[in-house]
A and B are shown apart, each in its own frame.
Chain A
Amino acid sequence: MDALDVSRWQFGITTVYHFILVPLTIGLAPLIAVMQTMWVVTGKDHWYRLTKFFGKLFLINFALGVATGIVQEFQFGMNWSEYSRFVGDVFGAPLALEGLVAFFLESTFLGLWIFGWGRLPKLVHLATIWLVAIGVNASAYFIITANSFMQHPVGAVYNPETGRAELTSIWTLLTNNTALAAFPHVVAGAFLTAGTFVAGVGGWWMVRSMRKAKEATEPEVAKKHEDTARTMFRPVTVLALWVMVASGIGLAITGDIQGKLMFEQQPMKMASAESLCHTETGADFSILTVGTQNNCESITQLIKIPGLTSFLADGTFDSTVEGVTEIQARYEEMYGPGNYKPNLFVTYWTFRAMIGWAAGSALLAVVGLWMTRGGRVPDKKWFGWLSILVIPTPFLGNSAGWVFTEMGRQPWVVAPNPTGVDMIRLTVDQGVSNHSPWTVWVSLITFTVVYGALAVVWFTLIRRYTIEGPLEHDAHPPGDDHDEPEEPGRPEQLSFAY
Chain B
Amino acid sequence: MGLQEVWFILIAVLFIGYFVLEGFDFGVGMLMPVLGRRKDPEGDTRRRVVLNTIGPVWDGNEVWLITGGGALFAAFPEWYATLFSGFYLPLLIILVALIVRICAIEYRGKIDDDTWRRRCDWGIVFGSWVPAVLWGVAFANIVRGVDIDADKQVTSNLFDLLNPYALLGGLTTALVFALHGAVFLALKTADEVRTDAVELASRLALPAVPVAGAFVLWTQLAHGKGWTWILVAIAAAALLGVVAFTRAEREGWAFLLTSIAVIATVALLFVSLFPNVMPSTLDAAYNLTIENASSSPYTLKVMTWAAAFLTPVVLIYQGWTYWVFRQRISTKHIPPSIGLPLERR
B85 touches A92 (CB 8 A): no
Partner of A95, one of B74, B96, B106, B334: B74
| Bound CA span A150–B67, Å | 21
B306 touches A85 (CB 8 A): no
B99 touches A60 (CB 8 A): no
A92 touches B70 (CB 8 A): yes
Which residues in B have their C-beta under 8 angstroms from that of A70? 62, 65-66, 95, 98-99, 102
B299 touches A166 (CB 8 A): yes
Q: Interface digits, B69-107 against A, CB 8 Å rule (1 contact, 0 not)?
A: 111111101101111110011011001101110110111
Instruction: List residues 55-93 of chain A with CB under 8 A from any CB of chain B.
Output: 59-60, 62-64, 66-71, 73-74, 76-79, 81-82, 84-85, 87-93
A88 touches B314 (CB 8 A): no
The verdict on B289 contacting chain A, using a C-beta distance below 8 Å, is: no
Partner of A450, one of B73, B100, B306: B100
Look across to chain A and name the residue whose beta carbon is closest to the beta carbon of B325. A115
Which residues in B have their C-beta under 8 angstroms from that of A442? 89, 92
A287 CB → nearest B CB, Å: 41
The verdict on A482 contacting chain B, using a C-beta distance below 8 Å, is: no
Q: How many residues of A contact B (CB 8 A)?
A: 84
Which residues in A have their C-beta under 8 angstroms from that of B307? 100
- Among B102, B109, B318, B334, chain A packs the most CB atoms within 10 A around the CB of B102
B314 touches A89 (CB 8 A): no
B317 CB → nearest A CB, Å: 6
The verdict on B163 contacting chain A, using a C-beta distance below 8 Å, is: no
B82 touches A494 (CB 8 A): no
Which residues in A have their C-beta under 8 angstroms from that of B70? 73, 92, 95-100
B105 touches A100 (CB 8 A): no
**Contacts beyond the supplied A63-B102, A96-B71, A108-B59: 20 A-B pairs with Cβ under 8 Å:** A70-B62, A76-B84, A81-B85, A90-B299, A96-B70, A96-B303, A100-B306, A103-B66, A104-B63, A111-B57, A111-B321, A112-B321, A439-B89, A493-B333, A494-B334, A497-B52, A497-B109, A498-B52, A498-B106, A498-B109
A-B contacts, 13 listed (Cβ < 8 Å)? A78-B91, A92-B73, A99-B70, A100-B307, A105-B317, A108-B317, A111-B57, A112-B321, A442-B89, A443-B88, A461-B107, A494-B335, A498-B108
Q: Which residues of A contact B (CB under 8 A)?
A: 59-60, 62-64, 66-71, 73-74, 76-79, 81-82, 84-85, 87-93, 95-101, 103-105, 107-112, 114-116, 119-120, 159, 164, 166-168, 170, 433-435, 439, 442-443, 446-447, 450, 454, 457, 460-461, 464-465, 467-468, 471, 473, 488, 490-498
List 10 A-B pairs, minimum CB-CB distance, nearest first. A88-B77, A77-B84, A92-B74, A99-B67, A63-B106, A92-B73, A81-B81, A81-B85, A111-B56, A96-B70
